[in-house]
Each structure stands twice: as C-alpha cells, then as structure tokens.
Amino acid sequence: MKGNLLDIRSLKAFVKSSLFPAIIQWPTAFVFAVVVYQLLYGPMSAHENFGTAMTWVLWWPIIPLIFLLMGRFWCAICPFATLSDIVQKWVRNKRTVPVFLKKYGIWIIDAMFILITWADHVFGIVESPLGSGVLLMIIITGVIVSGAFFERRTWCRYLCFLGGLSGNYSRSGLLELRAKSENCKKCKDKYCYKGKDNVAGCPMFEMPGVMDSSAKCNLCGNCVKTCPNDSVVLTARIPSKELWYVRKPKIEESFLAIIIMGIVFVQNITMLELWEDAQKIIEGLTGTSSYTVTFTITFIIAMAVPVLAFYATSWLAGVSNREKAISNLTIFGYALIPLDLAGHLAHNLFHLLAEGKTVLHTGIALLVPGYKGGSPGFFPEATIQIMQFALIVLGLAASLFTAYKISKNWFGEAGKSTASLVPYAVLLILLAAFNIYLFTLPMSMRM
C-alpha cells in the first residue's frame, strides 16, 4: 500500500522483533521507579525534586505532543501498563471485562480526569512531591486491581484517566495503523486479536481489520508481529483528518472535548495574576475563604461555560439543519479537538520551555551532591508567547477545517452545510481569541 511505513524494511524488522517496544518500555519503567522513589522519599520542595520535575515539567507537558506525533504509543510503553502486564502474567486470573465497564468506561474516564484535575488544585498535588507520589500510588493500586483480575490492558482501555484525552488527541495525530480489510475478511485465524506463540493479542481489545479510529490503538506492534498475511499498514496522515469522517460520533467523546477546553481555561486562569482578584470576588460572594469552595466554583463555571456555549451554538445550528441540539453537539464536538490540543500544548509549552531545565538541574543534583543548578528556562517569555499564539492559530485553522468537513459530510446533501458551520466557526474563533488573550497575560511557573 502507498505510504505504508512498514514497507521500510528496517522499521518493519524492528517492530516485528522482540525488542519492540521492550527496548523503550523497560528504561521507561526504570525511570518511573526512580520518579516514584524521589516523589516519596526525595526533597520535599517541588523545586528540588527530580520526580516532580520529571512528572510535571517534562512528562505532563510533553504528553499531548506525543499523542499528536505518535498517537497512543506512550500507552504501549507506559510504566503502568508494564506493571499491569507483570501482575497479569504472574496471577493469570484474566476475567472478562464487566459489561458496565464496557458500557460506561469512557464516562468513568471522563469523571476521573475531571476529579484528578480538581484534586490537583484543591490538594496542591503538583506542588507537592508527596502528593504526586500518593497520586501515583493510587493509580498503581488501580492498575494492580485491573492486572490482577482482568484480561489484557483493561485499565488502559476502560479506566485510565488519560484514556479519553489520549484517544481524542490521537485521532488528531499523525500516525494511523489499520489493516488491509480485504485480507482480514478472508482471515480465519485472527491472531491479531487472539495472539500467537509468545506474542499476546491486541492488548487494547481491537481488531485492526475493522478498526476505523486511532483512539484505542497504542501502536504496540503485536498485530504486526502476529499477522500471517502482513496486512497491517502504518501510514502518516494529515493531523486531524480522522475527525473529518467520524461515522459514529459519541456524546461522551464530544463532551470530553468540550470539557477539556474548560480545563485548559482553569489551568491558565489559576496561574494568572488576576486569579487572586477573582478569588477575592468569589470569597466575597460566598462569605467563605475556603480555597476548596472558591476553586470548585471556578472549576464548575470554567467547565460549564464551554459546555453551555457549545450547546447554545448547537441549538442555533439546529434551527437551520433541523437536528436536535444534543445531536449537533455530539457531531460537531469533534471539531473542538484540534483547538483543545493546541490550547493544551500552548499551555504546556510554557512549563516545558520556561521551566524545562529544572529536569536537568534536579537530575544532576541526584548524582552530584552540592550542585547548585541554574536558570530553569530555555527561552525568554516573549519567544514562548509567540509560539503559543502560533499554536492557537494552527489549532483554530484545523478546528475550522474539521467543522467545515463535518458540516459538509453530514449536511452537505441537504444544502445546510454553510448554515450549520457558521455558528460553530464563530464559537471556535471566540474560544481561540479567549485562549490568545489568556496567553498575553503573565503566568506563574509550575514549580
């Protein structure tokens, strides 16, 4: 097939070898062990803790970029997944996944993501190495439950709090793994799903032959190893292209896309100077100085605003295309994903480029006692700001084009595509403008 990256012999040989993805997976697991140890027993100041720097200044900011460039490949090498595999191999319980998880897993993922974001602010997890350590321990416990009881990577597919985010972002990603369906239809073995010899079947419960989304595939390469017909195809694609043709849109995926916009707003707003003034206003209105109350109110408002705005836009679009508001919201919610990703990347870019050297300094301090470190930033703030604006503009362009394609695919035949598109285009421009405005304001650092 044209553009199949697996036609590159060396790449195919590497993916087929037992070194893939182990050669990346095991060093990642080792670093993770150091990170957990540092968070729990290292310096108490986030400034000086290698675990905090690795987690919140390197990993967290860079993860959306990995999803964009490599889809969910992180999930293939994620230390939690490695732990789940180890526990599963050891216990060999492998129960089938409960129906409620299959049915409501994505809602649980959405709720977990919101809960962790809320808990981070209320308990100050990011600024507290021990808090971050406890969070990882809780996730480890969840992973052990999943690995000890259930088959494959149940945690990654149905429960990981990053699953919804990674799924949505990977759909905007550059890489696409599929299979030649004409071969798969004839295939009786289905080794890609069942596994063969020492290679497990798809850990994410997918069958490449019928897969039409990159939301779940973690590019672990198992299907490449097991397919007897060499049917698996890995191609590079235009970012966001998958979102143009979502045949079965799901409310939970669109809802998460809209919620993430609110979460990025919260992350930005709470790092701004005006956050203190906003807190005082809310404290005045509620008559309490409890940060939990103040933040919870802000959090709810920040998430509700994009949801309500999107719902109102969907209602407006429904006036012309005759769809229910909730149906329009489900269909067009995917158009927000590129802007989400751009906003998220732009926010994280500040942490990565203004604080990124902290990772280096804390890492050296681990090995060289008495090391004093240096400036944490790679670039001046003005340079970072320009990059942030550029990202938002790119994200807006991708979102607008996605909305255009969606409206054309769903309402083109009825001649309602332009009328459906206009309200969403206006909303997307407003959301991008608000993002840009937030990035013009000075931010404080994470650590």
Residues numbered 318-357 forming contacts with other proteins, rule: CB under 8 A: 354, 357
The one among 315, 373, 401, 416 contacting other proteins by CB under 8 A = 373
3-state secondary structure of 151: coil
Q: Which of 68, 146, 71, 134 is nearest to 108 (CA)?
A: 146
The one among 270, 296, 409, 418 contacting other proteins by CB under 8 A = 270
Structure tokens at 437: 């405005």
Which positions from 150 through 169 interact with other proteins, judged by CB under 8 A? 150-151
17/93 with CB nearer other proteins? 93
Structure tokens at 366: 């681990």
CA distance 290 to 305: 23
Interface with other proteins includes 26 (CB under 8 A)? no
272/422 with CB nearer other proteins? 272
Which positions from 181 through 240 interact with other proteins, judged by CB under 8 A? none
In the beta sheet, which residues pair with residue 177?
234
Interface with other proteins includes 286 (CB under 8 A)? no
User: What are 22-28's contacts with CB under 8 Å, separation 24+?
Assistant: 24/77, 25/76, 25/77, 25/82, 26/82, 28/77, 28/78, 28/79, 28/82
Quote the least distance from Cβ 154 to other proteins, whole Å: 11
Quote the least distance from Cβ 258 to other proteins, whole Å: 24
Interface with other proteins includes 271 (CB under 8 A)? yes
The one among 213, 226, 328, 358 contacting other proteins by CB under 8 A = 358
266/421 with CB nearer other proteins? 266
Interface with other proteins includes 297 (CB under 8 A)? no
Q: ∠ at Cα 267 (266, 271), nearest 5°?
A: 105
Q: Which residues contact 200 (CB under 8 A, 6 or more apart)?
A: 152, 222
193 and 49 Cβ atoms separated by less than 8 Å: no
Interface with other proteins includes 383 (CB under 8 A)? no
Interface with other proteins includes 284 (CB under 8 A)? no
The one among 89, 95, 237, 322 contacting other proteins by CB under 8 A = 95
Q: Which of 298, 358, 346, 299 is nearest to 127 (CA)?
A: 358
Q: Spell out the alpha helix ranges (H) of 92-196.
A: 99-123, 129-149, 154, 163-171, 181-186, 191-194
Quote the least distance from Cβ 136 to other proteins, whole Å: 10
Interface with other proteins includes 85 (CB under 8 A)? no
CA distance 107 to 84: 22
Interface with other proteins includes 290 (CB under 8 A)? yes
Interface with other proteins includes 17 (CB under 8 A)? no
Quote the least distance from Cβ 111 to other proteins, whole Å: 11
Interface with other proteins includes 382 (CB under 8 A)? no
Stretch that binds other proteins, among 179-187, 241-249, 266-274, 299-307 (CB under 8 A): 266-274
The one among 85, 230, 252, 381 contacting other proteins by CB under 8 A = 381
Interface with other proteins includes 289 (CB under 8 A)? yes
Interface with other proteins includes 56 (CB under 8 A)? no
The one among 229, 283, 397, 436 contacting other proteins by CB under 8 A = 283
53/403 with CB nearer other proteins? 53
391 and 435 Cβ atoms separated by less than 8 Å: no
Which positions from 98 through 127 interact with other proteins, judged by CB under 8 A? 98, 119, 121-127
**What is the dihedral sign for C-alpha 177, 254, 100, 247?**
negative
Interface with other proteins includes 40 (CB under 8 A)? yes
373/412 with CB nearer other proteins? 373
3-state secondary structure of 196: strand
Interface with other proteins includes 252 (CB under 8 A)? no
DSSP result, 93-119: --BPPPHHHHHHHHHHHHHHHHHHHHH
Interface with other proteins includes 92 (CB under 8 A)? yes
199/445 with CB nearer other proteins? 445
Interface with other proteins includes 47 (CB under 8 A)? yes
Q: Which of 350, 358, 435 is nearest to 395 (CA)?
A: 435
214 and 242 Cβ atoms separated by less than 8 Å: yes
